[in-house]
Amino acid sequence: MTVDDLVAATRAEDLPRVRDLLLRLDVPAIVDELERLDASSRAVAFGALPQGIDLDVFEDLDATLQGELLDGMEQGTVAELISGLDPDDRATLLDELPAPVTSTLLAALSPHERAMTTALLDYPPESTGRRMTPEVVHVPVDLEVGEALEHVRSHEADAEMIYTLPVVGPGHEVVGVVSLRRLFVTDPQVPVRAVMSPAIVVQATEDQEVAARSVRDHGTLAVPVVDAEQRLLGLFTVDDAMRILEHEESEDFARTGASEPLRRPYLATRVLDLVKSRILWLFVLIAAAALTVNVLDHFEDTLAEVVSLALFIPLLIGTGGNTGAQAVTTVVRAMAVGDVRFRDLPRVVWRELVTGALLGGALAAVAFVPVSVLVGADVALVLSLALVIVCTLATTAGAVIPMLAKKVGVDPAVVSAPFITTIVDTTGLIVYFLVAQAVLGL
């Protein structure tokens, strides 16, 4: 099957053909194909899916695309899809819908499902509580292993996942965790307390990205979510953690490239939305680049006296910008994965300062001889000294600015490589002309 086959079938509204093409694929592949279609073709393709498969596909679609699909469905179909979602997936979808629509959909749920969903929606949007599953089987700490297995069997239909089981004590407080596998391979008379492991828990009010990194770093399938008194509220599962990390990394990647994240698949994004995601940053960068013009105007006389200095302006500012971009990308990434914290600022500054000086020195050594042959040793010396200073400044700025940004509550990725590049371009020109005035006596 090709994408063109599916597009042609959806535009002709040939539902049997669409169904046949899609059923040759597994659910992740169907989701990929739907995300590549325009809104109307996507609605036709989704409507052609058999009952059962449509819910599996709907669960895996981006929440914004889920909302678009719901717009064209009958009320009964919408209610069926919404009720079939897990509470955390349902809460994510409802975040994307207008408040009146959310109220209508919540009212159509059973009292139990509505209560679970409303409880999740009461947490802040970026919190772990908003993304946890409240459908969880817990094991009382005073049971034996055989009793615990019977307890899990009798409650497994109420849980989203049973492979990681929180162990709770008095007051529903989490005292440990035990895996289903450990229960199966252990003698039934052994107390659960003897086989449980210390619990790695996350607070419901904790940022979802922090919780997701905890799941990833500890290699767990799920971690219990607790309140301030360590009482069990739900589970935060590995699939949700990986989805959140992918979303956060996509945001950081977009902002590092001086654009806003799309928040939906690329091919499902309108061209106008692509423009909106980029235009503001371009205006900001143009304004910043205007500083470079002012610097050139200020040192016009210096440039007039030694015209050959102009030959190396693109080389200098390009090198400085690239060096700064390398540093800021490295540091932002290190911060994102938790390798670097604000208290590490002195160490990071020192490492990048030395790195910049060594990089500048290496580039200066390579450039000195050919520049001397081309325009003379005096200009070669100016360029070499400027390269060392500019590279040192660029790497240091690339380290300091994102760390300070995070300290004051600004996303470090917003201090993107293009923004750092523009700043370094301006400071690099100032350094270049000041060095030229000092060395050449201008």
CATH number at residue 152: 3.10.580.10
Q: What is the pLDDT of residue 13?
A: 78
Q: What is the pLDDT of residue 281?
A: 65
Question: What integer is the mean pLDDT of 244-266?
Answer: 65
Max mean pLDDT among 28-32, 285-289, 347-351 falls in 347-351
Instruction: Identify which of 299, 311, 276, 258 has the alpha carbon closest to the alpha carbon of residue 421.
Output: 258
The 8-class DSSP code of residue 439 comes to: H
Residue 129 lies in a domain: no
Residue 186 lies in a domain: yes
Helix (H, G, I), strand (E, B) or coil at 13: coil
Residue 258 lies in a domain: no
Does the pLDDT value for residue 154 go beyond 60? yes
Task: Label residue 206 by pLDDT band (50, 70, 90).
Answer: very high
> Burial, 181: exposed, middle or buried (Cβ in 10 Å; 0-12, 13-18, 19+)?
exposed
Same domain, yes or no: 61 and 155: no
Same domain, yes or no: 12 and 119: yes
Q: How many CB atoms lie within 10 A of CB 270?
A: 11
Specify whether the CB–CB gap between 398 and 326 falls below 8 A.
yes
Same domain, yes or no: 25 and 116: yes
Does the pLDDT value for residue 269 go beyond 70? no
User: Which amino acid is it at 428?
Assistant: G
Same domain, yes or no: 335 and 376: yes
Same domain, yes or no: 72 and 194: no
Q: What is the pLDDT of residue 90?
A: 84
Residue 259 lies in a domain: no
Q: What is the pLDDT of residue 95?
A: 79
Task: Label residue 82 by pLDDT band (50, 70, 90).
Answer: confident
- What's the CA dihedral at 252, 257, 263, 266 to 10 degrees? -130
Residue 261 lies in a domain: no
Q: How many CB atoms lie within 10 A of CB 225?
A: 28
Q: What is the pLDDT of residue 414?
A: 65
Count structural domains, the chain. 3
Question: What integer is the mean pLDDT of 142-148?
Answer: 90
The 8-class DSSP code of residue 49 comes to: S
Instruction: Identify which of 212, 121, 228, 127 has the alpha carbon closest to the alpha carbon of residue 174.
Output: 228
pTM for the whole structure = 0.65
Same domain, yes or no: 278 and 347: yes
70, 88, 123 - which closes a domain: 123
Residue 130 lies in a domain: no
Task: Label residue 261 by pLDDT band (50, 70, 90).
Answer: low
Instruction: Identify which has the larger pLDDT, 366 or 158.
Output: 366
96, 123, 150 - which closes a domain: 123
Same domain, yes or no: 25 and 103: yes
Specify whether the CB–CB gap between 16 and 49 falls below 8 A.
no
Task: Transcribe 239-298 into DSSP letters.
Answer: HHHHHHHHHHHHHHHHHHTTS---SS-GGGS-HHHHHHHHHHHHHHHHHHHHHHHHHHHH
Q: What is the pLDDT of residue 217?
A: 84
Q: How far apart are CA 349 and CA 406, in angstroms?
A: 15
Task: Label residue 168 by pLDDT band (50, 70, 90).
Answer: very high
The 8-class DSSP code of residue 50 comes to: P
123, 150, 172 - which closes a domain: 123
| CATH code for the domain of 370 | 1.10.357.20
Q: What's the mean per-residue pLDDT of the chain?
A: 82
Q: What is the pLDDT of residue 422?
A: 76
Task: Kindly state the tokens that stand for 362.
Answer: 């290496």
Same domain, yes or no: 241 and 322: no
Integer CA distances (angstroms), 213 to 23, 76, 135, 170, in order? 35, 39, 22, 29
Does the pLDDT value for residue 442 go beyond 70? no
Of the listed ranges 211-225, 254-268, 361-375, 409-423, the one predicted with least confidence: 254-268
Q: What is the pLDDT of residue 308?
A: 76
Specify whether the CB–CB gap between 83 and 70 falls below 8 A.
no
Instruction: Identify which of 148, 131, 147 has the alpha carbon closest to the alpha carbon of residue 139.
Output: 148
Q: Which domain holds residue 394?
A: 270-440
Same domain, yes or no: 116 and 164: no
Same domain, yes or no: 431 and 286: yes
Task: Kindly state the tokens that stand for 7.
Answer: 């597009």
Residue 264 lies in a domain: no
Residue 286 lies in a domain: yes
How many CA atoms lie less than 13 Å away from 313 in the CB half-sphere?
18
Give residue-wise pLDDT tens across range 384-436: 999 999 999 999 988 888 888 888 877 676 666 667 777 787 888 888 888 88
Q: How far apart are CA 135 and CA 124, in angstroms?
A: 19
Same domain, yes or no: 55 and 148: no
Same domain, yes or no: 363 and 416: yes
